[in-house]
A and B are shown apart, each in its own frame.
Chain A
Amino acid sequence: MAIRNTEELSGRSAAAVASGAIADLGDHHDPTTDFQLPPGSEPEARSQWQLFWRRFFRHKVAVAAGLVLIALYLAVIFAPQIAPYELNPRLDAATLLQARHGPSGKHWMGTDELGRDQMTRILFAGRISLMIGLIVALVSTALGTAVGALAGFYGKWVDQMLMRVTDLFLVVPGLAVLMMAQKGLAGKQILGHRFSSQGLIILILSFLYWQYIARVVRGVFLSLKEREFVEAARASGASSFRIITRHMLPNTIGPIAVNTTLVVGLAILTESTLSFLGFGVQPPTVSWGNMLAQSEGAVGTPQAYLVYFPGLAILLTVLAVNFLGDGMRDAFDPQSHH
C-alpha cells in the first residue's frame, strides 16, 4: 500500500512508517523476514531476479502504472519539444484574446486569464514536480540506507540514537513543521549556498524522509545479521564493510526499492500541498501545486477547468507511483499477497 500523504496525517504516516510498515500498513509482515535470497551465489541470485520480473509482469495494474510513469517522465523531459505553445507567451492582444477559453481542440486543457495554454503549463510544471519527487527519493534513500545499515549492523548505541532521533520526528505535526522550515529558511544562506524555492523544498523533504528508509533498512539488517550466510562471511574473515556491501545490502534491495518508489509519490504530494499553501515552489517557477493556488478562485466559476487538470496530473502521478510500489512489493515478497 501507499505511504500516506503527509498532508492531513503527517504524524500518522510517519508513525506507520516507523513501525517498519512503510510499504504496507496492513500486512503485519516484518519486512525483515521477507527476503530470502541465498548468500549472493550468482546463478541463484539471477533466478531471484527472474522470479521478481515474472511475478511483477503478472501484476497487470503495476505494469500499466509503470508505463504511465515512464510516459509522464518522458513527456515532461521533452516538454519544450512537445508543448504546443510557449510557457510564457508575450502578453499581446493576440494572446489575451485567447484568455479564459475552455478546453477545445486548440487548447486541450483551456487557457488561463492571461491566455496561456494550460497543457503547456502543466507539462512544464510537471518537470518541477516530478523532478522534486525523484531527487527527494534518491537523496533520502542514499542517506537513509547509509544510516539504517550502520544502525542495523552495529546495533547498540548507534541504533539507539537512530531510533530516538526518528522518534522525535514523530511527535511533531509534520506539515506544520515543513511550513515553518520553508518559511524560515526561504532566501537564507544554507551552508554558504542560497537555495531556490524548489532547491529548498528538496532539501527539507529529504531531511524528513530519509528516516523512513533508515528504519526499513535497519529492520532488514537486524534480521539479516542473524542469518547463516552473514555468520559464515564473518567467520571467513570478511571485513565489516565487505559484509555490509556484498552480503547484506544486496538482500535489502527489495524493501529499499519499494520504499524509494513510494517516497517519490509522497514527496510529490507534499510538495504540491506546500506549494498550494504558498510555502513551496514560488512563482514564476510553475509547479502543479502553485498552479492550483493561482486558480483556486476559479472554483465555482466557468473557469473551473483550470482547477481540474493540475489536480488530475498530481493524482495520476501519485496513483501510478503507489500502484507501482505495491506491485513491486508483491513481486519481491509474494507472501504478502493480501
Chain B
Amino acid sequence: MLTFIVRRLAYSIPVIIIASALVFGFTRATTDPLARLAQSRDAAELLPRERHRLGLDKPLVTQYTRWAKDFVRGDWGQSFISRRDVKSEIRDKLGNTVQLIFWGILFSASIAIAVGVYSAARQYSALDYTFTGLSFLGLSMPVFWFALMAIQFLIYEPTVLFHLKQPIFLSVGLHSANDHSLVDYLRHLTLPVLTLSVQLVAGWSRYQRSSMLDVMSSDYIRTAKAKGVTRRKVLLKHGLRNALIPLTTVMAIDIGALFGGLIITEHIFAWPGMGRLFFDALLSGDTNMVLPWLMVTAVFIIGFNLLADVLYGVLDPRIRLS
C-alpha cells in the first residue's frame, strides 16, 4: 500500500510540472498583463519599459522557468489591482471556499447515500422513480438559473407573502456588516450551499443507486441472505459497505474540482471565495492573480484524484493488502 502511494505520488509530480507549463503558456496566450497599461495615455512610452521589467520580452521558456522558480519559492507576486500579496489573498479566499465545500458535501453526501440506499432497496417503487426524475432534473439544471430561482422563491416571495420585516435567508456575502452571529452565518450559507449541492446530490445519488444495485446483485449478498441475515442488515452492512467504495472515490474527485468550480455560486451570492476571486481577476485582467489561481486549483484537483486512489486502497482490502 505504501509503495502504491509513493508510486502514485511520483506519477503526480510530472503531471503537475507539465500542467504548470501548459497553464503558463495558456495564460500568456489568453491574457495580456499589459492590457490595462496599454489603455493609459502615455502607453507608447511605458509599454516597452514595463515589458522589459516583467521579462515579457524574453523567450517564453525563460519566462516560464523564471516564474516557476518564483512560484515554488513562494513568491507569487502582487495583484495588479489590489496590490495585495497574491499568496495571502488566495489563502484567505480558499478559507471561505472551504466553508462552502464542507457544508455542501456534508449535505449532499447524506442525502445522496440515503436516496441511493432507499432506491436500491425499493427499486421501481414510486419514490424510486421520483428520485430518479429529480436527479435528472438536477443534472439538467443550469446552476446559475437555480441560484436566481432560489433567491426569488426563498428570499423575495416568502418575504412578500408573509409580510416579513426581513427575509429568512440572505443572498449577499459571508455575513452581514455588523452581525457575526451563527444565525447570520447560516442565513448567508444556506442558499449557496443549496446551489452547489444541486448537481452533487443528483449525481451522487444516482451513482450510489447504481452502485448499490450492482452490489446487491452480487454473489456475496446472496451468501449473506443464505446465512439468515436480515434484509435490513444485508442492505446496510454487506451492501452499503461495498457500495461506498466507488462513491467515496467519486466524491473525492468531485471535491477536488470544487476548489476551482464554484465560480457561478460565488459570483451570484457574492461569496468572497476562490471562484469570485478568479472571476474578478479575469474581468480586470489581473494576470498575476489568474496564473497562481490556476496552479492552486490544478494542484487541488490532482491532489484529490490522488486521494481518491488512496481511499480506494484503504477501503478495499483486496487493494490494500496486495
Contact = CB atoms under 8 A, between A and B. Distances in A.
A5 B267 CA distance: 17
Most buried by B among A2, A7, A277, A319: A7
A219 B153 CA distance: 45
Contact of A168 (B22, B196, B200): B22
A16 B246 CA distance: 12
A143 to B, nearest CB: 20
A11 B199 CA distance: 13
A7 B30 contact: no
Contacts of B30: 180-181, 183-185
Given A171-B15, A175-B261, A7 B143 contact: yes
Interface string A265-277: 1000100110011
A8 interface: yes
A328 interface: no
B186 interface: no
Nearest to B156: A300
Interface stretch (B74-82, B204-212, B224-232): B204-212
Tell me what chain B mostly uses at the interface: helix, strand, loop, or mixed. Answer: helix
A231 interface: no
B141 interface: yes
A324 to B, nearest CB: 11
A3 to B, nearest CB: 8
A326 B140 CA distance: 13
B148 A299 contact: yes
Contact of B253 (A15, A180, A299, A315): A15
A276 B263 CA distance: 12
A304 B209 CA distance: 37
A81 B310 CA distance: 59
A277 B206 contact: no
A33 B145 CA distance: 38
B294 interface: yes
B260 interface: yes
Contacts of B206: 1, 25-26
Contact of A176 (B15, B200, B260): B260
B167 to A, nearest CB: 9
B203 interface: yes
A112 B297 CA distance: 40
Interface string B244-264: 001000100110111111111
A8 B148 contact: no
Contact of B297 (A8, A9, A173, A183): A173
Contacts of B278: 176
A190 B156 CA distance: 46
A212 interface: no
Given A299-B156, A318-B140, A11 B294 contact: no
B264 A273 contact: yes
Contacts of A170: 301, 305
B301 A11 contact: yes
B84 to A, nearest CB: 20
Task: Pick the most buried of B213, B257, B290: most chain A CB atoms within 10 A of its CB.
Answer: B257
Nearest to B133: A61
Those 5 A-B pairs whose CB atoms lie nearest each other, nearest first: A184-B30, A26-B210, A11-B257, A173-B260, A311-B145
Given A8-B143, A11-B301, A176-B282, 7 more contacts: A4-B203, A9-B258, A15-B305, A26-B206, A175-B263, A277-B263, A315-B142
13 contacts: A8-B262, A10-B261, A11-B256, A11-B257, A12-B257, A26-B209, A173-B260, A174-B261, A180-B30, A180-B290, A276-B142, A311-B142, A338-B210
Interface of B: 15, 18-19, 22-23, 26-27, 29-31, 135-137, 139-145, 148-149, 151-152, 155-156, 196, 199-200, 203, 206-207, 209-211, 213-214, 246, 250, 253-254, 256-265, 267, 278-279, 282, 290, 293-294, 297-298, 301-302, 305
